[in-house]
Amino acid sequence: MKELRNASLLEVDAESAAQRVDNFLLRHLKGVPKSHVYRVLRSGQVRVNSGRVKPDYRLKAGDRVRLPPLRLPAPSQRPAARPLALPVVFEDAALLVIDKPSGVAVHGGSGVSFGVIESLRVSRPQAKFLELAHRLDRDTSGLLVIAKRRSALVELHRMLREGEMEKTYVAAVRGRWRGGARDLDQPLHKHVTAGGERRVSVHDDGMRALTRVRPLAVSERFSLLEVRLLTGRTHQIRVHLAHAGHPVIGDDKYGDFELNRTLAKEKGARLMLHAHQLAFAHPVTKSRVALEAPWPDPLRSFFDRVTPSHAR
C-alpha cells in the first residue's frame, strides 16, 4: 500500500451533478475498499463546500468536494486492459451501443482481468465518461448500451427501472415449445450457493418478473424463441425458460448439462442467447432509437437446423 499524503479538492462538473456523493467517491477512488470510503464519509472527513454530508447527498454542479489523505492500493498485478474489436451499432455524443460478442465480460472481476468497459476506456483515453447503462451475462451476445455522459446514464437507469426500454432477445432452447406466444411470470429469488456462486430460482417470495415469449421455429428437439424482457431481473430469461422446461442451449448454470456436452462434441455449445433488438427514447434528444444486432452464426445455424427447408 502507498499513502496519498495530501488532501485533495475536486470540483463537481455538470456531468457529475445529481450523483450521490458515495458513488462519486467510489468512481474517483478506484481500488480503495468500499468500507473505507464509507468510513471517511460517516466520520466527516469528506467535506462538501466545507460541510459534512451523508452518503446519499446529491451533488450539484460547482460543489467542492474535499478528499482526506487516504491509503491507496499498490498497482495491480493483473494484466492491463487492452482494446478489443467491438462492433459499434450506434454512437453519438451521449451514447455508445456495441454488439458484444459471446464470451466477453462486460467488466472485470470474478476471475476476469478486464471486460468491455475497461477495454473501451483504454481505447478511448480522451473520453471523460464511459459507464455501462446495463449488463449482459458474459456468454450472452448482442446489444450493450454505454453512456458517455452522466446525465444520459441517469436517464437510462430511470427508463430501465420504469420499463421504458424495449429489450428483445433470441434464444435457442431444448424441446418443442407448445402453446404459442405466452408470458412467463414466476417471481425470482437471488441466493448464493454453499460454494459461493450466485444463483436465481423461482420462489414465491421472490421479486416480480415478466418474460414474454413468442416461438420463431420449433422441432421435436429444439425451438428458437423471441423473448422480450418486461422486467430486468438477474438471469431472468435463463431461469424462466428452464423452469418452463426449455433451458437455453449452452447454459452452464440452469441448462441441460448432458445435452450441452453432447452438442459441444458436435460443434461447440456457446450460450444460445442473443440481445437482438433495443428500442427507447434517446435520453437527451427524446427521439426514438431502434437498434438491431444481427444473429450470430451459431444461432443462425440453429434456426436452419430447426426450420424445415420448405418453410424458410
The residues near 139 (Cβ < 8 Å, ≥ 6 apart) are 102, 103, 250, 252, 270, 271, 273
The residues near 136 (Cβ < 8 Å, ≥ 6 apart) are 100, 106, 142, 144, 275
Cell 448454470, residue located: 253
- What are the backbone angles phi and psi of residue 129, rounded to the nearest 5°? -150, 125
- Active-site residue identified among 22, 99, 137, 256: 137
Cell of 288: 426514438
Whether 137 is a known active-site residue: answer yes
Cβ atoms within 10 Å of 125's Cβ, excluding its own: 6
> Cα separation of 125 and 174, whole Å?
44
Cell of 269: 455449445
- Give me the active site residues, please: 137
